[in-house]
Amino acid sequence: MVRKVLMSVLAFISGALATDESSEESHTTEEFIDTENSGMLRKVHWQDFKIELIVLSVFALYVVSFITKKRKNADFASRWYNSLQTLLRNQFSQYGPGRNMSPVIDVSPTEYSSYLTGRVNVKNVYTTLQLFPRQDLFTYGINQLVEIFMGNVMSPVLPAADRFQLILNLGNHAKPWQPFVFAIVRKDCMRILRETRFDLSFTRISSHPLLPETHVLMSENLECTERVLNLPQFLPSLQSSMKNLEYLIVTDQPAAAPANEKEYMEQPRIDASMRVDNVGTFNELENPQANDLLNTLLLIADNTSKFQWRPEITKKLTSSRKLALEEVVHASAAAKAAKSKKSTASDVSNLSESEQKKRVDKERQRKIKKRSKRA
């Protein structure tokens, strides 16, 4: 359908633009009207509105493409979540934001999400299906050109693609455990994640013989790494989704850098993202990669009691978090001081010359008194 419309519009545009010099013939005297009897100089032909018709045709093509591609995204999102429905309903007592509501939330033409809760060891789970903006390729192309010629003026992000993301917030466990930061990251995503995620600044990068060459480990401590990798069925469960896995992060630190102490909130959770490379031929009856990825996250959640460390490891993990909090507090105080200083300088510059002189003298007297008291 879209192809037929596209061919029709292109044929119309090419026909409108195909004007030879012979078609630019001068109008005969019969085509002109006496200017004394009418304000028009000649008869109006449809060829006089070529540009307008071309613009309207392109706009109509854009609207048709937007609607059809949006429906394609919505159809794929429905099939995707249907393929996970059995696992989600078996593992969680609540699938969706509430009763009598669709479990899949249509956030935008490119984003579909869902909410899960009601499971042991898990507080809640947020899932997001982020789709390529195939319904608006014009805007996407403009953004890409701006990024090529002007650089990424926004914060770095992963390139637009079809991807499935999960955030699993861990619940209260019977046996307390010391949170840590551990990640398996695809190499072509590592630089952007390192730049944008605050929690990954706690880690060091390394390779591991049990992982494919396309992925690296990012972990706070070697003991934490081995404990996770040696969980029963962890690597076999992750194996099928490893090809498309962008990252799997076990963390308790904020993903975005906190601006102040209030924003510095520790929440043990597991973040994961995988590429979806079979949108056109996806079969909703089976989805082994996404099912295995979710099972891997649940496996970690059910085994947090095994994350018990030697005293020296616990001390290091605790110390690194205290240091990070101190740095956030210090940076926040410095930002406030700079803002206050800038505001004061702005206030002084707005004063008259005599008032500025009085203010400078007053500040000088204050400093002299302060020195005399110290003496």
CA distance 171 to 269: 9
Instruction: Report helix, strand or coil for 351.
Output: coil
Structure tokens at 321: 């978090």
* Alpha-carbon distances of 233 from 95, 155, 258, 296, 361, rounded to whole Å: 26, 37, 35, 8, 75
Beta bridge partners of 42: 32
E-state strands within the chain: 94-95, 105-108, 111-117, 122-130, 163-170, 182-186, 204-206, 215-219, 245-251, 269-275
Report if pTM > 0.75.
yes
Grouping H, G, I as helix, E, B as strand and the rest as coil, residue 364 is helix
- The DSSP line for 288-324 is HHHHHHHHHHHHHHHTGGG----HHHHHHHHHHHHHH
Which pLDDT tens digits describe the chain residue by residue (375 residues)? 545 545 555 555 565 555 544 444 444 444 444 545 555 556 767 777 778 888 888 888 888 888 888 888 899 999 999 999 999 999 999 999 887 888 999 999 889 999 999 999 999 999 999 998 887 766 767 666 666 555 554 456 788 889 999 999 998 776 788 899 999 999 999 999 999 999 999 999 999 999 999 999 999 999 999 999 999 899 999 988 999 999 999 999 999 999 898 999 999 999 999 999 877 777 777 788 999 999 999 999 999 989 999 999 999 999 999 999 999 999 888 888 787 766 665 565 666 777 767 777 777 777 777 666 665
Taking the alpha carbons of 106, 111, 117, 119 in that order, is the dihedral positive or negative? positive
**Which residue(s) pair with 114 in the sheet?**
127
The whole-angstrom separation of Cα 170 and Cα 271 is: 11
Angle between the N-to-C axes of helices 50-91 and 288-302, in degrees from 0 to 180, rounded to the nearest 10: 50
The domain segmentation of the chain, as residue ranges, is 59-313
